[in-house]
Amino acid sequence: MSKIAVVFHSGYGHTQRMAEAVAAGAGSVASTELIAIDAEGNITDAAWATLAGADAIVMGSPTYMGSVSWQFKKFADASSKIWFGMGWKDKVAAGFTNSASMNGDKHSTLHYLFTLSQQHGMLWVGTGMMPANSKAAERDALNYLGSSAGAMAQTPSDAGVNEMLTGDLETAKQFGVRVASMAARLNK
Amino acid sequence: MSKIAVVFHSGYGHTQRMAEAVAAGAGSVASTELIAIDAEGNITDAAWATLAGADAIVMGSPTYMGSVSWQFKKFADASSKIWFGMGWKDKVAAGFTNSASMNGDKHSTLHYLFTLSQQHGMLWVGTGMMPANSKAAERDALNYLGSSAGAMAQTPSDAGVNEMLTGDLETAKQFGVRVASMAARLNK
Amino acid sequence: MSKIAVVFHSGYGHTQRMAEAVAAGAGSVASTELIAIDAEGNITDAAWATLAGADAIVMGSPTYMGSVSWQFKKFADASSKIWFGMGWKDKVAAGFTNSASMNGDKHSTLHYLFTLSQQHGMLWVGTGMMPANSKAAERDALNYLGSSAGAMAQTPSDAGVNEMLTGDLETAKQFGVRVASMAARLNK
Amino acid sequence: MSKIAVVFHSGYGHTQRMAEAVAAGAGSVASTELIAIDAEGNITDAAWATLAGADAIVMGSPTYMGSVSWQFKKFADASSKIWFGMGWKDKVAAGFTNSASMNGDKHSTLHYLFTLSQQHGMLWVGTGMMPANSKAAERDALNYLGSSAGAMAQTPSDAGVNEMLTGDLETAKQFGVRVASMAARLNK
């Protein structure tokens, strides 16, 4: 059975809920573990060990001021120790983000997560989903935002964690299924 | 009076309508000319002369397969002749795009237009607008999509030119005002 | 045996030589075919069929005015027909580029190729190589330019095809080996 | 006289030396102040006041793991307080970075700094320099790396601060002159 690690930072709980949806999807086909980066940008030694043993690492962060949160970036910078030995080479990588605007700079966040994954020599997998963008498309459709490089959620600036959009969370879940399936395919 | 050129490619008329909105805004404070890149990616010699004399060049393209259309790119490649002599150096630059998805890869298109402008030594100006992203925000609000680097419009894949969103067009118009105002400020 | 297609546009022959190096590497472990996009941005129906049957598609373009050439973009836009049916979903994707400057905007070209691959639902594989960037590093070292997302070559603006750097070509070749090996791993 | 603020984070002193070169250039035509982001990602209240009063803000960071350092990102995230009130709107923005590889992901860092500046509604100015990329070009030529969006320096991974390349530092200095001149032009 493949092992999936979902490592994320969440400032107010929205990205955490999204991470849980990704993990729920991945968990349906693989052994899956959630790793929360704390408010100081740190994770435990046990979490680093989990990442070392994972077949796929899914990275998540809110989009703050045009990219990942500084706490996520601190985690990324700390991963330079692993990079020196190419410790994550050939693992599957994927990414997701939440922000308040429909567009905003979520694409920038996903492109950063991709850039990080490439330094580590990982294989990137995106949503593989067509967008829901016809006139009849409803806000709760799968991939309503139309993202390819990774999963996106949009939660209004004044909406609580329990007000996140059902479609975005289901998109995150299906994305988790896809990442875990790809890890299984690579490791059979 | 400043001179603004709005150069764009439009495949099905949506980006053209957006270009007209940008030009309407710019035209309220500056002498403004629209330049359409044709279906083969060409513009006339007169259009090249207009660009050479402009204080600001606003570039627009639909987002096709993750970036500007090939016709726009052909125009960009042809601008290498001007680049050799830094003919557009210190002009104001700005960009806009339309696509079918809320997010999609519109950000990628704007980042390309920015990259092009930087090779030409131009000054980039974005929307300067806050996003409309609270729970109360309506689809026709100014900058509902939440774009900073340039103006974005989202038109469903099966929506005609006359079905474009009023808010997106008004955003494009206000963006035109901003670009022309900045050109005026630079050239006073 | 896996099937690898290397599809590229070359303006003056440098990117073609790089494509041949990638294909030489890939060809050492998989059945490999080169597809040249012509000066009008077209490929033959037979070439489209080759792409449809490939396990991995490696995309190459010179960096012109900050991104892929318009001919490559015309090919990318034409691939929207395949995108509608997700015909390339789950194939391996990778990219390479050549330009005259050490840095320039080659990163922008690779990010575009990545963005295109994600719309198609493909898996992206980069160089997986550490950079050669110590004081002792020589210009002909593997990955002297230090690229992760794909293979890069740098050829001075006035250097002919036969003056390309040996190290860049060897990097391209090793990159071809990596892409083909990953395709084999996915398809075993 | 225009006021320029150069705000940067430096991990080992290289980016600081680059910041000093930018400031030396800017200082030749404008009142210029250097602001160092500390090892915890903080700046003083006085520094925030300096930024509030500046006509141009030049942002610098090493490229770590594919983007700005986490300390710089913490500063960027803290700037969200200013963003809420659009406090930096219409200021000039510019960016620079240093890393060990010729290419690496320096472009990604500059694109992030641009993205941040656009959220703040700022005007971006790049190097406006042609690249030095002929066969005769020497490593110490102005803009040898060939960067347009901002200034780049490349310092080998094992090179000390005193071993930085003269050409890169002179490029940074000329870049400082350009940014300050543009600020003066905007504010006359």
Q: Does the pLDDT at position A188 exceed 80?
A: no
Nearest to C114 by CA among A123, A1, D119: A123
Q: Number of Cβ pairs closer than 8 Å across A and D?
A: 75
Distance from CA of C182 to the nearest CA of A (A): 9
Contacts of C126 in chain A (CB under 8 A): 118, 121
Would you state the pLDDT for residue B85? 98
- Whether the CB of D108 is below 8 Å from some CB of chain B: the reply is no
Q: Mention every residue, 6+ apart, whose C-beta is less than 8 A from residue C48.
A: C82
Q: Which of C123, C148, C188 is closest, CB to CB, to A125?
A: C123
> Could you tell me where the beta strands, DSSP code E, fall in D81-167?
92-99, 123-125, 151-154
- Whether the CB of A82 is below 8 Å from some CB of chain C: the reply is no
State the pLDDT confidence band at C187, using cuts at 50, 70 and 90: confident
- Whether the CB of D90 is below 8 Å from some CB of chain B: the reply is yes
- Whether the CB of C80 is below 8 Å from some CB of chain A: the reply is no
Q: Which of D103, D134, D156 is closest, CB to CB, to C106?
A: D103
* In chain C, % of residues over pLDDT 90: 98
Contacts of B123 in chain D (CB under 8 A): 123-125, 182
Q: Mention every residue, 6+ apart, whose C-beta is less than 8 A from residue A33.
A: A3, A4, A5, A6, A23, A50, A54
- Whether the CB of D80 is below 8 Å from some CB of chain B: the reply is no
Chains with 3+ CB–CB pairs under 8 A to B are: A, C, D
Would you state the pLDDT for residue C58? 98
Q: Do B100 and A152 touch (CB under 8 A)?
A: no
Would you state the pLDDT for residue B188? 74
Contacts of C123 in chain A (CB under 8 A): 123-125, 182
State the pLDDT confidence band at D188, using cuts at 50, 70 and 90: confident
Q: Does the pLDDT at position C113 exceed 80?
A: yes
Number of domains in chain C: 1
Distance, C-alpha B12 to centroid of its chain: 16
Contacts of D149 in chain B (CB under 8 A): 114-115, 118
Q: Do B126 and D127 touch (CB under 8 A)?
A: no
Strand partners, C152: C97
Give the C-alpha separation, A176 to B53, whole Å.
53
Question: In terms of residue numbers, what domain contains C158?
Answer: 3-186
Q: What is the 3-state secondary structure (H, E, C) of A60-113?
A: EEEEECCEECHHHHHHHHHCHHHHHCCCCCCCEEEEEEEECCCCCCHHHHHHHH
Nearest to D31 by CA among D1, D11, D57: D1
Average pLDDT over residues A135-144: 97
Nearest to D59 by CA among D103, D115, D140: D115
- DSSP character string of chain A: --EEEEEEE-SSSHHHHHHHHHHHHHHTTSEEEEEEE-TTS---HHHHHHHHH-SEEEEEEEEETTEE-HHHHHHHHHTHHHHHTTTTTT-EEEEEEEESSSSTTHHHHHHHHHHHHHHTTPEEE--------STT--TTSTTTT--SSSEEEE--TT--GGG--HHHHHHHHHHHHHHHHHHHHHT-
Would you state the pLDDT for residue C148? 98
* C-beta atoms surrounding D129 within 10 Å: 19
Residue D66 per-residue DSSP state = T
Would you state the pLDDT for residue A165? 97
Q: Mind listing the pLDDT tens digit for each residue in D12-28?
A: 999 999 999 999 999 99
Q: Which of D65, D70, D77 is closest, CB to CB, to A65?
A: D77
Q: Do A108 and B108 touch (CB under 8 A)?
A: no
Would you state the pLDDT for residue B180? 98
Q: Do D158 and C135 touch (CB under 8 A)?
A: yes
Average pLDDT over residues A57-70: 98
Give the C-alpha separation, C146 to C158, whole Å.
23
Average pLDDT over residues A152-159: 97
Sign of CA dihedral A26, A27, A31, A33: positive
- Whether the CB of D103 is below 8 Å from some CB of chain A: the reply is no
Residue ranges of chain B whose pLDDT lies below 50: none
Would you state the pLDDT for residue A1? 87
- Whether the CB of B162 is below 8 Å from some CB of chain A: the reply is no
Q: Mind listing the pLDDT tens digit for each residue in C116-163?
A: 999 999 999 999 999 999 999 999 999 999 999 999 999 999 999 999
Nearest to C153 by CA among C108, C105, C100, C83: C100
- Whether the CB of A144 is below 8 Å from some CB of chain B: the reply is yes
Would you state the pLDDT for residue B187? 83
- Whether the CB of B130 is below 8 Å from some CB of chain D: the reply is yes
Would you state the pLDDT for residue D36? 98
- Whether the CB of A56 is below 8 Å from some CB of chain C: the reply is no
CATH number where D151 lies: 3.40.50.360
Average pLDDT across chain A, whole number: 97
Q: Which of B126, B185, B188 is closest, CB to CB, to D121?
A: B126
Contacts of C65 in chain B (CB under 8 A): 76-77, 79-80, 83, 116, 119
Nearest chain B residue to C79 by CA: give it.
B65
Would you state the pLDDT for residue C172? 98
Would you state the pLDDT for residue B1? 87
- Whether the CB of A162 is below 8 Å from some CB of chain B: the reply is no
Average pLDDT over residues C68-73: 98
Number of helices (H), then strands (E), belonging to chain C: the values are 6, 7
Would you state the pLDDT for residue C188? 74
pTM > 0.95: yes or no: yes
Q: Does the pLDDT at position A88 exceed 90?
A: yes
Average pLDDT over residues D164-187: 96
Asked if residues A79 and A117 have their Cβ atoms less than 8 Å apart, the reply is no
Helix (H) or strand (E) holding B23: helix B14-27
Mutate one of D96, D103, D112 to test the C interface: name it (highest C CB count within 10 A): D103
Nearest chain D residue to B186 by CA: give it.
D186
Contacts of D157 in chain C (CB under 8 A): 133-134
Q: Which of D123, D129, D149 is closest, CB to CB, to B182?
A: D123
Q: Mind listing the pLDDT tens digit for each residue in C150-159?
A: 999 999 999 9
The letter for the amino acid at B173 is K
Give the C-alpha separation, B51 to D55, whole Å.
29
Chains with 3+ CB–CB pairs under 8 A to D are: A, B, C
Would you state the pLDDT for residue D146? 97
Q: How far apart are the first and last CA of chain D?
A: 9
Asked if residues D109 and D97 have their Cβ atoms less than 8 Å apart, the reply is yes
Q: Kindly tell me the burial class for residue D178, based on how many C-beta atoms sit within 10 Å of its own C-beta (0-12, 13-18, 19 or more).
A: buried
Q: Do B101 and A133 touch (CB under 8 A)?
A: yes
Average pLDDT over residues C57-80: 98
Q: Do B131 and A101 touch (CB under 8 A)?
A: yes
